[in-house]
Structure 1
Amino acid sequence: MKSRLAVVPLLLVVVAGCSIANPTSSEVSLQYGAGPFDSRKFVECEDDRDVSDINDDHYYYPKGQRDFTFGESDGIDSAPLTSTTQDSQEIKVNGTVKFTLTTDCTEFTDPTGKTWPGGKIQMFHELIAYKYDAAPTDGGEQMKPGWTALLRNYVGAALDRATDNEALKYPWQKLYNDAAAKAQWEKDVLAQLPEVLKSLTQGVDLITINSVLLQKPSIQPALVQGLTDKQAAELRSQAAEVDKQAAANFPGGIPGYQAYQQQQAVNEAIKAGRVQVLPVPQGSSIIVSPNK
């Protein structure tokens, strides 16, 4: 009877001495040994619930597509990006990059010759994310504030360089007014972005870029006013050309057309109540006076 009682506390200690990895379907967990008798090293990747040593740590990263947003609204990842166009004008760029974190846990060797038993996700964690304290240590939680800083310094920095490189190919009016040019700019940024990003991650595709959406760029107020003035001048010029053609074809030529316009102006003024026609005896001249 005494031996049976002695076994119970021992079993309780064993059960209590565990940590549990519990990733959701949209997460992967990285387990690291951290006990007093363990070296600080990678143990395994976990996609399902797993019981491990009580002292081990677990870091959770997202699987599936995520967004990196940049612009002037609240609650987004980054402020607008700035680029310079072919004609040396600064534009502000807002938009969204859709990306997927590479969560492959298959052992591989990086370009420096280092082997990662936990694959690209282990490389991402140890070389980048751990320094930012980006990952939660419990499943189902939001990414830590360091995650946003990480995205700005990698996805955001790569995107900034790509948009700069491609904006230099266009004058500002093309990106602002020409839908085809703006679509090509967006396409070229998407094509360039993965390689720029890989240059920040030792040539390894730790983050996969899925799409880039760039909104119509914002331009300086002086350019907006100049564009408005130009459009107004073009409209005035077009109206003048219409008047010129109408006058040339009007009976009586330009004098007849001018007399017609003056009569039309008087008629419109009378209708609007801006002038008053006074009754006069038959045969007398018509007197038109302003309506005060």
Structure 2
Amino acid sequence: MKIRPGTLSALAAAVVLTGCSIGNPTSSEVSLQYGSGPFDSRKFVECETERDVSDVNDDHYYYPSGQRDFSFGDGDKMDSAALTSTTQDSQEIKVTGTVKFTLNTDCTPFTDPTGKAWPGGKLQMFHELIAYKYDAAPTDGGEQMKEGWSALLRNYVGAALDRATDNEALKYPWQKLYTDAPSKAQWERDVLAQLPKVLKNLTMGVDLMTINSVLLQKPGIQPDLMEGLTSKQAAQLRSEAAEVDKEAAANFPGGIPGYQAYQQQQAVNEAIKSGKVQVLPVPQGSPVIVSPTR
């Protein structure tokens, strides 16, 4: 049986395609290619930022190259539950907010502090020492990160953030963080400054993630502190009102007796307007008589 040249070429192309895997990262991804199969030892091949055809048995792991969020607080859509910290005056506060970070996708070969060489750079180190153990990366381009990614972020970004917020909250009494905007802003800046250092301690001193910003919401406080704060504010308002009354009385014509008589008349007028008292008809020239309504 004769095979036409065009048919032979098509068959050859089909054989080639079925014997290949394709690395196809999107514009916001970087992929790592690893050789695998019955005749290959499993080893790093290269970083990929564009479409690449490789051996059918090779694996590809995809990581985000842009900025990502780590949100912590109340609600199902958060990456982590709210954190807790202790203030200078031994009060527990609830900490919520967002950390913006970027995964270090640098593939430039380097040697880590232990002397191990990484031909695929810091991204290869991140993948092999951390992410692979969590099964965090998808093996096809354009897909969502796998469930292990969330656990990874909690155990690295979340753990470092918990330590940083704890350390910095100890510098402030709770009321400063709750009611004083400059103190709260400084606490936020302090956490931002410390977080990268704490995170690097978890990654062998190598900056595998870059912290871009930290946004901390107004801390949550214990109910008894809220009640005490409300009572204190109410007492302060009463004190300020009393000072105003005292100053007004001193300057009122007739002095304090004249001011008291004026206040009493004002109270009667307000009571009449609100319907709390009733004005009784009396002969002309007689004093006005009022009685409470029932």
Query: Shorter chain as normaliser: what TM range?
Result: over 0.9
> Can you list the C-alpha shifts for 1:148-198, whole angstroms capped at 9, x where unaligned?
110010001001100110000000111111111111111111111111100
| Residues 223-254 of structure 1: per-residue CA shift (max 9 Å, x gap) | 11111110000000111111112222223322
The answer for the alignment partner of 1:44 in structure 2 is 46
Q: Distance in 2 between matches of 1:273 and 1:91?
A: 48
Partner of 1:290: 292
CA distance in 2, matches of 1:138, 1:55: 14
Residue in structure 2 matched with residue 14 of structure 1 by the alignment: 16
Q: How many residues align?
A: 292
Measure how far apart 1:276 and its partner are.
1.7
Counterparts of 1:180 and 1:226 in 2: how far apart (Å)?
22
Give the Å deviation of 1:11: 5.3
Structure 2 distance, partners of 1:291, 1:76, is 57
Letter of the structure 1 residue corresponding to residue 252 of structure 2:
F
With over 3 angstroms needed to count, the CA separation of the structure-2 counterparts of 1:200 and 1:282, relative to structure 1, is same
In terms of mean alpha carbon deviation, does 275-284 or 112-121 score higher?
A: 275-284
Cα displacement string for residues 194-214 of structure 1 (whole angstroms, at most 9, x for unaligned residues) = 111000000000001111111
Aligned identity (percent) is 82
Work out the CA distance in 2 between the residues paired with 1:43 and 1:200: 27
User: What residue number does 1:104 align with?
Assistant: 106
Measure the CA separation in 1 of the matches of 2:287 and 2:208: 91
Q: Which runs of 5+ in 2 are unaligned?
A: none
Separation in structure 2 between the aligned mates of residue 262 and residue 38 of structure 1, nearest angstrom: 99
1:53 paired with 2:55, answer yes
TM-score (norm 2): 0.95
Measure the CA separation in 1 of the matches of 2:97 and 2:242.
42
Residue among 148, 153, 157 paired with 1:155: 157
CA-to-aligned-CA distance 1:34-61 (integer Å, 9 cap, x gap): 1110101111111111111101110000
* Residue range with higher mean Cα deviation, 276-285 or 24-33: 276-285
Q: Deviations over 1:69-98 (max 9, x none)?
A: 111132120011111000001111111111
SS at match of 2:183: helix
Segments of structure 1 that go 5 or more residues without pairing to the other structure are none
Structure 1 outlier segments of 4+, above 4 Å:
1-11
Matched to 1:255, the amino acid is: P
Structure 1 length-normalised TM: 0.95
* SS of residue matched to 1:59: strand
Structure 1 residue aligned with 2:273: 271
User: What is the one-letter code of the residue matched to 1:114?
Assistant: K
* AA partner of residue 71 (structure 1): G
